[in-house]
A = this chain, B = another copy of it.
Amino acid sequence: MGHLLDDLAVIVDTSGILTGNDIGSRYTDTRGHGAAGVPACVLRPTSTAQVSSILKLCNDAGRTVVPQGGMTGLVGGGTPGDGDVVLSLERMNVIEEIDSTGRTMIAEAGVVLETAHDAADDAGFVLPIDLGARGSATLGGLISTNAGGNRVIRYGMTRQSVLGLEVVLADGTVLTSMNRMLKNNAGYDLKQMFIGSEGTLCIVTRCVLRLQPKPLTTSTAFVGMNDFQSVIGFLALLDSRLGGDLGAFEVMWSEYYDFVGERCPTLKPPLPAEHKFYVLTDALGADPDGDKERFEAVLEVAHNQGLIQNGVIAQSDADREGLWAIREGAWEGFRTLGPMFTYDVSMPILTMDGFATRAMVEIEAVFPFATTLILGHLGDGNLHAVVAVGDGSGLAHRKVNDILYGIIRDLGGSVSAEHGIGTEKLDYLSWSRTDAEVEVMRALKRMLDPKGILNPGKVL
Q: Which residues of A contact B (CB under 8 A)?
A: 99, 101-102, 104, 145-146, 148, 152, 154, 156-157, 159-160, 169, 173-177, 179-190, 192-193, 195-197, 201, 213-216, 232, 236, 239-245, 284-287, 290, 294, 346-350, 377, 380-382, 412-421, 425, 429, 432-434, 436-438, 440-441, 443-444, 447-448, 459-460
Contact = CB atoms under 8 A, between A and B. Distances in A.
Contact of A174 (B188, B290, B436): B436
27 contacts: A101-B232, A101-B350, A102-B348, A102-B349, A146-B189, A152-B183, A154-B244, A156-B156, A160-B160, A169-B440, A175-B434, A175-B440, A181-B347, A181-B380, A182-B380, A183-B417, A187-B438, A187-B441, A188-B441, A190-B441, A192-B192, A192-B195, A241-B287, A243-B284, A243-B286, A287-B294, A443-B447
Contacts of A443: 447-448
Contacts of A348: 99, 101-102, 104, 180-181
Contacts of A243: 213, 215-216, 243-245, 284-287
A347 B104 CA distance: 13
Nearest to A382: B183
B187 A216 contact: no
Nearest to A431: B186
What are the nearest 10 A-B pairs in CB distance?
A: A244-B244, A243-B286, A192-B192, A183-B417, A186-B432, A184-B414, A181-B381, A181-B346, A101-B350, A213-B240
Contacts of A444: 188, 190, 193, 447
B185 A437 contact: no
Given A182-B381, A188-B201, 8 more contacts: A146-B185, A154-B244, A157-B183, A169-B440, A186-B415, A186-B421, A187-B437, A187-B441
A183 B346 contact: yes
A382 B232 CA distance: 37
Contacts of A186: 414-416, 421, 425, 429, 432-433
B152 A182 contact: yes
Contacts of A193: 188, 192-193, 444
B185 A419 contact: yes
A159 B189 CA distance: 11
Nearest to A247: B244
Nearest to A346: B181
Given A101-B232, A102-B348, A294-B290, A196 B190 contact: no
A185 B349 contact: no
A419 B156 CA distance: 24
Contacts of A418: 183, 185
Contacts of A104: 348
Contacts of A380: 181-183
A289 B173 CA distance: 57
A61 B415 CA distance: 40
Contact of A175 (B146, B421, B436): B436
Given A190-B437, A437-B175, A417 B287 contact: no
B413 A240 contact: no
B188 A417 contact: no
Nearest to A417: B183
Contacts of A157: 182-183
Nearest to A212: B239
Q: Which of A99, A159, A213, A284 has the most CB of B within 10 A?
A: A213
Contacts of A197: 188
A216 to B, nearest CB: 7
A184 to B, nearest CB: 4
